[in-house]
């Protein structure tokens, strides 16, 4: 599903050139649950942005569903972001004036695919445990509930891949466990999940952990179980 090889990313900061990624390569197959781990500055967020088609690499290859991403037009990239990839962020990114249901429906307004409708959105909110909170606005919801809305929104276009960037970073430990158990349920139902985190207890839910430091992969750990 995802094949990355020889990926580099350089930024100019004043006179200096910063190498955020230095020849990164790995594969992610359909229905895998993979965590990308590393300290601040390791390159994991840069890698996440490239996988999510939010940024382009300086060099190297990134193939998404057998298509070379570098060869996609901006419109094709935008379509891939909306159709193939669902995003979950640390800070939820919900629109404060919209209800939970309208926040979940939002991606459908930018999609020309008939992938979902209000019934589908309501089913997703029920699936994440918010069947009685659909009309609530974000300020009427707890942090964990807001992240559940964000997860339902990320799934509304039935994406092949769910990208989660520090999804428990703004949550207390009990709520973090609930959210990670929800990700585990989604994975068991067949969802491919890529999770960026710096927390070991969060990464422990994944099947594989890709550990990064200084823009390089230092270790890939296979795990045969989920923490619970």
How does pLDDT run across 11-31, given as a tens digit for each residue? Answer: 888 889 989 999 999 999 999
131 alpha carbon, distance to own chain's centre: 23
Determine phi and psi for 41, rounding to 5 degrees. 85, 5
By percentage, how much of the chain surpasses pLDDT 70? 95
111, pLDDT greater than 80 = no
16 alpha carbon, distance to own chain's centre: 30
CA dihedral 87, 88, 89, 94 (to 10 degrees): 100
Coil, helix or strand for 183?
Answer: helix
User: For residues 160 and 92, what is the distance between their CA atoms, to the nearest angstrom?
Assistant: 20
User: For residues 101 and 159, what is the distance between their CA atoms, to the nearest angstrom?
Assistant: 18
Long-range CB contacts (within 8 A, 24+) of 102-106: 103/138, 103/149, 103/150, 103/153, 104/149, 104/152, 104/153, 104/156, 105/156, 106/153
Locate all alpha helices (DSSP H) within the chain, ordered by sequence.
44-51, 74-83, 100-109, 118-127, 143-155, 173-188, 200-203
Per-residue pLDDT band for 227 (boundaries 50, 70, 90) equals very low
């Amino acid at each position: 599903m995802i094949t990355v090889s020889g990926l580099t990313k350089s930024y100019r900061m004043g006179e200096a050139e910063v190498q955020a990624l230095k020849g990164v390569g790995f594969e992610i197959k359909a229905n895998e649950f993979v965590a990308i781990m590393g300290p601040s500055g390791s390159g994991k967020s840069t890698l996440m942005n490239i996988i999510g088609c939010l940024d382009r690499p300086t060099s190297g290859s990134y193939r998404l569903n057998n298509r070379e991403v570098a060869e996609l037009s901006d419109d094709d990239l935008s379509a891939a972001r909306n159709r193939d990839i669902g995003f979950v962020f640390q800070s939820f990114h919900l629109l404060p004036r919209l209800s939970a249901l309208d926040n979940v429906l939002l991606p459908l307004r930018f999609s020309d695919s008939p992938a979902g409708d209000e019934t589908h959105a309501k089913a997703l909110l029920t699936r994440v445990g918010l069947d009685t909170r659909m009309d609530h606005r974000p300020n009427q919801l707890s942090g964990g509930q807001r992240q559940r809305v964000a997860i339902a929104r990320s799934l509304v276009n039935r994406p092949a891949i769910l990208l989660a960037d520090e999804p428990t970073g703004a949550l207390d430990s009990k709520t973090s466990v609930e959210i990670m158990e929800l990700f585990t349920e989604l994975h068991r139902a067949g969802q491919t999940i890529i999770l960026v985190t710096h927390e070991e207890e969060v990464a422990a839910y994944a099947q594989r952990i890709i550990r990064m430091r200084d823009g390089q992969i230092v270790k890939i750990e296979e795990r045969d179980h989920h923490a619970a």
